[in-house]
Each structure stands twice: as structure tokens, then as C-alpha cells.
Structure 1
Amino acid sequence: MSDTTRNYVSGQWIESATGETIEVENPARPSEVVARYQDSSTEDATEGVEAAADAADDWAATPGPERGRILREAATLLAERKDELTDLLVAEEGKANAEAGGEVQRAIDIFYHFAVKAAERGGTVKNPSSPNQNLYTIEEPVGVAALITPWNYPIAIPAWKLAPALAAGNTVVLKPASAAPGVAMEIARALDEAGLPDGVLNVVTGSGSVVGTEFIEHDAVDAVSFTGSSEVGEMVYDQATDSGKRVQTELGGKNPTIVADSADPAEAADLVASGAFGVTGQACTACSRAIVHEDVLDEFVAELVDRAESIDIGPGDEHEMGPQVSESELESTLDYVEVAEAEGATLVSGGGIPESSAVESGYFVEPTVFTDVDSEMRIAQEEVFGPLVAVIAVSDFDEALAVANDVEYGLAASIVTDDHTEANRFVREAESGVVKVNDKTTGLELHVPFGGFKRSSSETWREQGDEGLDFYTIEKTVYDNY
């Protein structure tokens, strides 16, 4: 049985007031308990917020280059532990080793990036209208930031919220997802060893309804950043704005890839398969709709099925595609398979639990492809969050674009085409915060903004890049007459 990890509050590792713990199991081997974490109470969450509030003034007064030095040292410590962190991520969340290693590296890169930004940012100088005057702006931290993060990218998403928050001079309370909190706790450990002052970061594990609610509603919290489902995120937004807080939410997606008649079907299938089946389809930017011109439909489907059926499924430490994170996520995906068949879609590949000695236990599912899908079907409208692609046939580009936009979400979208006019129209007219040409829907650069349209985001503040810092700063304008 594994050790119990405590909460990190005011620079100390402490037990929850409840005395209760959460067991995290390995989704590839559910009988294996990876670790235990605190099942915290409202009292524990309050203690974390109060610690952050007490530390806020001193951290805000810390020079940017010194904040950057601590972030840089933490990044170095994470890099030294990359293999260990990768193994922990595989064990708790189920990702394949290569995917987990890439995610850990992403977190390391984010901390290095914002370590530099901590020294660079500060404000701008403007030309005044009056003589004998200096006119400039200075950037100040918002205050206490509450971060609530999901399980599907359990180190990358905490990193891309936490690093800019700290770089900008905010103190933080963080609630990682209970399904895979271990790697986020290791970020706290690295920052602690790097010299982060007590109370600047506080990590409290537990349920969203208890810990998350207290973070969102506490008077000392000034900003809330949430990533998760649209249903929960919209409630978080309402709670946070009702409390007068700055709020940022990044939510679900129903991401399309348009395959034009000029596309090479094999190339398009490579991109769709990678975007749909990578990380077991458990990405908010995963491709779940392939909108395909009828002239290349049959060849594209054959190529996509070939890729789906060639994927090596099993525990992530040894195989290409790991399990879904939990039994409930697996059941949800299988339920969508039943719904799709009932609505008249044609199952052409996958749709069940794989048969292999490597997957005798665990929450494994086959990569799944449906054809004869109508845009009004549930698998064409609702986020599945599993490795399932709905193939929708269209007769021209205008129809493809209309279908691509015919959902409540607008996170990521891509097109595969050799027609430059189509590509440019797609970039302009796709109702999506991220658009890609001849690329998969997944995969993001850390130095440019990320966020969605419609129900994929609160459409308030973007994450990552310089825009990621904007959420955590507020500008003061100075008129200095001499």
C-alpha cells in the first residue's frame, strides 16, 4: 500500500482536519493503489486561502527577477525528476509513457518560459501631452488566485496556470483533480525546495464541491481559473462572478477536422487518428468529428480504420494507448457507442473493450470509428471524451464549414486541404479559438494564447503566452509631474 501525501499549506505538509483520505488507483490495474491523498474539508480549504492572503503583500513586493529565479530553479528540479514524474503520471492517469513524458516536459518548459517573463514584464512608458511629466503604467498582481485543474493533463495544466500566476506576483491556492493529483503535488515540492516563501503556494486536495467551492467563494480570493467540463465550468463562472471575482474558464470541445476533396486521404487519416486517439481521446482539443468530402470519403475511412485497428492498447508503461482514467469514463464512452448505433450511425471499427492478455483488467476501450453520422446525432454534438470519431460526409466546402460550426463548442478546429482559398476562409470563418491548417486539432505552443469560443470558454481571458500573464495582473497608470 502506498504512502499518504499531505496537503501543502503555508510551507508545511499537513494532514486534513477530516482525517480521511482519497485512494488513487492505477486505471490500467485497478487493484493497485498508487497513492493516498487528503480528503479535505472546508476548514482545510479556508486555511489554504488564509495562508495565501497572509503571504500576498510580501510576494507582490518580491522583485520580478527573484520570482523568476525561483521558477527557474523549480523547473530545473522538475527536469532532474522527469523520469520519476513520468512514471507517476502513467500510474495515476494512465497515459502512455511517451505521452506522459511529453506532458512532463511541457510543464518544465512552461516554468522556464515564465521564469524569463517574470523579469521582463512590468509596464509601459507613454509620451505625455504635458511637459515636465512622466506617464507610464505599472503591472501589479491581482492578489490571491484560486486554480482548479482537471485530471487529463495533471501536470501541464497546473503548470500553465501556476507559473504565470506566481511570475506576476500572485499567491495561489490550487486544487488538483482527485483522480491524478500526484504530479501537481510534485510541482509544489519542487517550488518549496527552490525557495518559494511560505504561503505563496498552497495545495489542498479533495472534492470540488467542498474544497473548490470554498476557494471560489472565499472573500480573500481575487481570481479564479478553472479547467474542466462546460457544465461545471459554467457553475464556477456564476459562483465566481457573483462573488465579484475575476474569472477564467477553459471548458469542453467538440472539435472538427474538415477533410477537403483536395486532401490526401492517408495524410488526413494520420492527422485525424493522432488527434482523436492520442491520450485515449481524453483531451479537450481531441478531434471527435471528421467532416469529409464525399469524393474522398471511402478512401479516408479505410485509412482511418487501418490506423485505429493498428494501435497497440495496454498499460501505458509498455503500450501505445493506455486506459481511460476511470470506470465511469469508460462506461460513458461505451454508452455513447450504444447511443450512436441506436440513432442509426454505422460502427465500422472498435466500439468495445479490447480482447488481449495485456488488458485483462483496467479501463481499456478500442479506438472507435462511426460513419453515416448526421450532424444532429448526439455523437456529433456532445463531448465524448474518449477515442471515438464521428465521420460526417459532405458535398462541398460550404457544407463542411456549416457542419463544423454547428455545435455549442468552439475550442479547436482543423482543415486538411491543398486549396489556399478554402484554408483562408476556414481560418476566418471557423467558430473556434484555435484553428489549424493541415494539422491535427491537438497540440499547443506555450508562447501563444489558448482559449475557446462559445461553451468552450468564458471568453474572458486567454491562457498561455503573454495573455496568460494578463489574467493575473492589473495595470496602474502613473502621472508623474516634475
Structure 2
Amino acid sequence: MNSRNWIGGEWIKPAAGEVAVTNPSNTIEQVGVLHLSDPSHVIQAEQAAREAYASWSRMSGSARAGHLDRMADVLEAKSDDVALLASMEMGKPIAEMRGELKRGVNLLRYYAAEGVRANGSVIPSSEQNVLQYTRKVPLGVAGIITPWNFPVAIPIWKIAPALISGNTVIWKPAELASLTATRLAEVFAEAGLPPGVMNLVVGKGSQIGNVLLEQIPLDALSFTGSTSTGLNIAQICAKRNIKYQTEMGGKNAAIVLNDADLETAVPLVVSGSFRSAGQKCTATSRIIVESGIYETFIEALSQAVSQIKLAPALDSEAYLGPVASASQYETVMSYVQLANEEAEILAQGPTATGDQEGYYIRPLVAGGLNAAHPLVQEEIFGPVAAVLEATDFDEAVAICNQSIYGLSASLFTQNLSYAHRFLDEARAGMVRVNQETAGVEYQSPFGGMKLSSSHTREQGQAALDFYTQLKTCAISYQ
């Protein structure tokens, strides 16, 4: 598989450089070749998107919905093929990746349905015989910059609401997910998406991402990635008056109170911490346990972690696979080393099955740390979690809120009063009781507080607010 650009309905093989893509589950296996773009491709994509916008934005919502429905149909038919490639490219277990493909299909169908829903409201006028109303209208050309950890779901949950709202798109995927992005573009081309409505440009952020941000006359920019990059994007977009949204880091906490049902809590904490090798912005990275059950919980957690299956991504029974790349492996292993040097290792999973060479990191739970320690405060983005002990509910919530991030948080309890207090007091954009921190349903708003987000939301109806602007209309018919 080789990456390609899809610009104005034409397939283009860029020639600014090549990068071999290896399988993180087995690094001696080459999955494909990444062909890098130069700035001219970004400029070409904007021209194609701008030209297509004239007709796409005037198309009826029902007609745009038909295109999204066809995209969903073809993606569903090709799901196994796309899931296989994505698992081989970035290492997510195949069972999880198939679930992600199903989510992508559901997202397309969900937003297709918006094509025939109300997109404004009637407002009474103070004058007689005046009809006054609002309409949601598209912004124009939207830039989409997506990460590698959800190579299907995140692009679709940005692209689908952008398209149904009448915008056209320039999509720049992460390098580590560019083969999957190419395959998705092939699916959308097969579904008959009109030329220029969505344009894929593959390459390094340092070479083409800056061109997209600083030179192209964008009308909107949606980004998911690191906090440092997101803050830089926000600064550039604000200066250029480009509407933007940035979804960034997380250091999510799961609180387990004395009355929690551990048969429910332990599997969900383990899943939140270690599915996808911890490479989720909503992953459980801090586990806060009330003193009365601390020892019992740690014993149960250790037992559960010891039974986790670390295996190649295409193993259907893999609980977690490798991390996505050599650089990701080096970063996460630096935190593993820090844990071995400065923390108490409370639990650690077994080594990977098989004899293949890959970027495998055993799941690890560290304790004996204070709330200011780097393992507790910094986003690791790997299968490493820290446990903290709290004397009561109030201290647990205070520790939960002691973070520059505020994406997701969860509480395990049978106490209804504590449950409602937690939902009120936890400073996170997504708060859940007796559920894991990771994930949110596609019809619900997704986003965080503090440095986790630029204060907008993705998915659900909230995504339509970002990709549109309100126009107030009035007509006198005297």
C-alpha cells in the first residue's frame, strides 16, 4: 500500500520524499510507503476545495445526506479491509479497530440524517408583517488535521459534520496513519463524493501543516493532537481570524470509593488504562482510591493486570498491542524507567506473546507517588497508570482536579449523593459514574476543559455549531 493525495477528484503521487511504513507489531515487516507532499499540493487542494464549495454549499441538505449515506455504505462493505490495514499501520488490536470502523459508519449515517433536520429558528419581530429567522450556513473551506491513534473515527467525526453543513475539506492526516487515510479517501471516491469536496494531502506537519495554517485562506480549522501543537495552532488561527477548535491532551482520573462494586470497577479501570496501549486522550492515567479499600483494590487490580494479553495487533484475542512507533516507544519507556526508579511497581502485565520484534510495552501500574510527580501530572500516552490514595471523597475530587487538563473523569460508587456531587464538582468536559474514562458515544458532545480543549465540542449536535455560522434574516412583506 502506498499513500497518495486525492485533490480535486484526482489521484496524485507526491514526490517530496518517501518514508517506509513498518508494522509496529513486527518491525521487520513493511506495510507500505508514505509519499510526502510539498507546499504546492496544499495550495492545489485549497483551490479545488474553493471551487467545489460553490456547488456543494448550494446543494440541498437532502442531496448532501445522500452522499454521506453512500460513503457509509461503501465503508461498511470495506470495513474488514480498512481495519486490517489500520491495525498493521499503527498497531491497534484488530477487534478494537473493527469497532472503530463501525463507529465511523455510524457517524456518517448520524450526520447524513442532519441533512433534513431544522437548521434555524423563527424569531418574533417587533414590527408588523416582518418575518425574522435564523439560518445555519456553512463557513467555507475547513482544514482538518487528525492524529494517528483513531485513524478512522476521528477523521470521520470531523469530516462528516463539516460536509453535511455545506463546507468543503482539506484533510491532513498524521504521518503514522496516512496509509489508512489514503484507503479512506479511496472509499469515499468509490462512493461518488464529488471532486474537490474532500481533498487529502499527505506529508509532514513541518512541511505542509504550516502552509495550511499560515498561507492558505481557510475558513475553519479542526485539530486533534498534542497540547503544545494545539496552542500554537490556536495562536495562528486567532491572528488570522480563522474559526478553530483544538482537542488536545488529557490526564484522566478514575476515582474508586470505599463502597464501589469492585467487580465492575476493576475491569473498567483496566480497560480505560490499557486498551489501545493507553494511546487515547481519554485513557485512565490516574487511579484515585479511597483508603478503606486501597489494599483490596490494588490486589484485585494487580491480578487483573497480570492476566492481560499483550500480543500482535492482528491477534483477535489481543487485549492491547504495541505502541504505534519507535518514537512513541522511546517516550513511553522513559516513563517506565522513571517509574522503576522513583515509584513502587504495584502491577505489571506479562510480556508479549510470540517471538516477533515490535514496540511492545508491558502494562504498568505505579504507586507511592505524590500528586505533583511527573507520572501523575504529565500525559504519557502509553500503558502506564499511577495510583494515588485519598482519605475521603472530598480529597479524591481535589486530587482529580489537580491537573492542567480536564478532558474526562469517572467515579465508582453506589452512593447517589457522591455521584451527583462528582458530576458537579469534577472539572472535566466528560464525567461518568460507574463507567470508564475512555470513550464517549458518537451522538454525544466530545471535548474537555482547561488545556484539554479550545472550549468547543466535537460529535453530536455540537459539531454542527462549529462548522456553521448563524445568519439572521428578515423580510418585510407589507
What is the TM-score of this pair, normalised by structure 1?
0.96
Indicate whether 1:402 and 2:398 are aligned.
Answer: yes
Report whether the alignment pairs 1:8 with 2:3.
Answer: no
In the alignment, residue 267 of structure 1 is paired with which amino acid? T
1:468 aligned partner, one-letter code: A
1:266 touches 1:300 (CA, 8 Å); kept in 2? no
Q: 1: distance between equivalents of 2:388 and 2:381?
A: 18
Structure 2 CA distance, aligned partners of 1:445 and 1:355? 32
Asked if 1:320 is matched to 2:319, the reply is yes
Q: Which range moves more in the overlay, 389-398 or 40-49?
A: 40-49
Structure 1 counterpart of 2:172, which letter?
A: K
Partner residue in 1 for 2:364? 368
Indicate yes or no: 2:412 matched with 1:416. yes
1:302 alignment partner in structure 2 = 299
Deviation track 1:58-113 (CA, whole Å, cap 9, x = no partner) reads 11111111100000001000000111111111111111111000001111110010
Shift of 1:42: 1.1
Asked if the contact 1:28/1:359 (under 8 Å) is kept, the reply is no
The CA distance in 2 between the partners of 1:393 and 1:121, in whole Å, is 49
Contact 2:301–2:347, Cα closer than 8 Å, also in 1: no
Q: Does 1:446 align with 2:445?
A: no
2:139 aligns to what?
A: 142
Provide Cα deviations, 1:427-482, integer angstroms capped at 9, x if missing partner.
Answer: 011010000001000121111111000110111x2100111011110111111110
For 2:448 and 2:144, locate their aligned partners in 1 and report how far apart those are by CA, in whole Å: 18
Gaps of 5+ in 2: none
Q: Distance in 1 between matches of 2:476 and 2:332?
A: 65
SS in 1 for 2:321: coil
* Equivalent-residue separation in structure 1 for 2:142 and 2:225 (angstroms): 17
- The answer to whether the 8 A contact 1:278-1:321 is kept is yes
Q: Deviations over 1:107-141 (max 9, x none)?
A: 11100100111221432222222221111112211
Specify the alignment match of 1:165 in structure 2.
162
Distance 1:356 1:167 in 2: 43
In structure 2, what residue type is equivalent to 1:12?
Answer: E
Q: What is the DSSP-based 3-state SS (H/G/I as helix, E as strand, rest coil) of the residue aligned with 2:175?
A: coil
**Which region of structure 1 is more displaced relative to structure 2, 264-273 or 463-472?**
264-273
Give the Cα separation in 1 of the matches to 2:176 and 2:324.
Answer: 8
CA distance in 1, matches of 2:232, 2:201: 21
Counterpart of 1:467 in structure 2: which amino acid? Answer: A
Q: 2:354 aligns with which of 354, 358, 365?
A: 358
Q: 2: distance between equivalents of 1:260 and 1:340?
A: 25
Alpha-carbon shift at residue 328 of structure 1 (Å): 1.5
Cα deviation, residue 356, structure 1: 4.9
1:470 aligns with 2:448: no
- TM-superposed CA distance for 1:355, in Å, is 4.0
Aligned pairs for 1:187-206 (under 5 A) are 187-206=184-203
Report the CA distance between 1:219 and its aligned residue: 4.1
Superposed CA deviations along residues 273-325 of structure 1, whole A, max 9, x for unmatched, are 01001111000000010000011011111111111110111111112311000
Q: Give 1:30 deviation, angstroms.
A: 1.1
Using the TM superposition, give the Cα deviation of residue 359 of structure 1 relative to its aligned residue in structure 2, in angstroms. 4.8
8 Å CA contact 2:352–2:360 kept in 1: the answer is no
Q: Structure 1 residues 477 and 357, CA, compared in 2 at 3 Å: closer, same or farther?
A: closer
After TM superposition, list the pairs within 5 Å mapping 1:315-354 onto structure 2.
315-318=312-315, 319-343=318-342, 345-350=343-348
C-alpha contact 1:50 1:220 (8 A) present in aligned 2: no
- CA shift, 1:357, in A, is 5.1
Q: CA separation in 2, counterparts of 1:141 and 1:185?
A: 26
Distance 1:24 1:199 in 2: 27
Q: Provide, for residues 243-297 of structure 1, a one-character-per-residue CA deviation record: whole Å limited to 9, x for no partner.
A: 1100100001000000011112332211110100111100000001000001101
Specify whether residues 359 and 111 from structure 1 end up closer, same or farther in structure 2 by C-alpha distance, changes over 3 A only.
Answer: farther
Separation of aligned partners in 1, 2:291 and 2:207: 50
2:183 matches 1:186: yes
Counterpart of 1:34 in 2: which secondary structure? Answer: strand
Secondary structure in 2 matching 1:181:
helix
Amino acid at match of 1:347: I
* Partners of 2:158 and 2:222 within 8 A in 1: yes
Q: Is the 8 A contact 1:56 1:144 kept in 2?
A: yes
1:122 corresponds to which residue?
119
Partner SS for 1:478 = strand
Alignment match, 2:264: 267
> Are residue 210 (structure 1) and residue 207 (structure 2) matched?
yes
CA–CA distance in structure 1, aligned partners of residues 332 and 125 of structure 2: 60
After TM superposition, the structure 1 stretch with the greater mean CA deviation from structure 2, 248-257 or 27-36, is 27-36
The answer on 1:481 being equivalent to 2:476 is: yes
Shift of 1:349: 2.3
Equivalents in 2 of 1:469, 1:60: separation in Å?
14
> SS state of the match for residue 461, structure 2?
helix
Q: Which range is displaced more, 67-76 or 206-215?
A: 206-215
How many residues get paired? 475
> Structure 1 regions of 5+ residues with no counterpart?
none
**SS of aligned partner of 2:169:** strand
Q: Which amino acid aligns with 2:348?
A: G
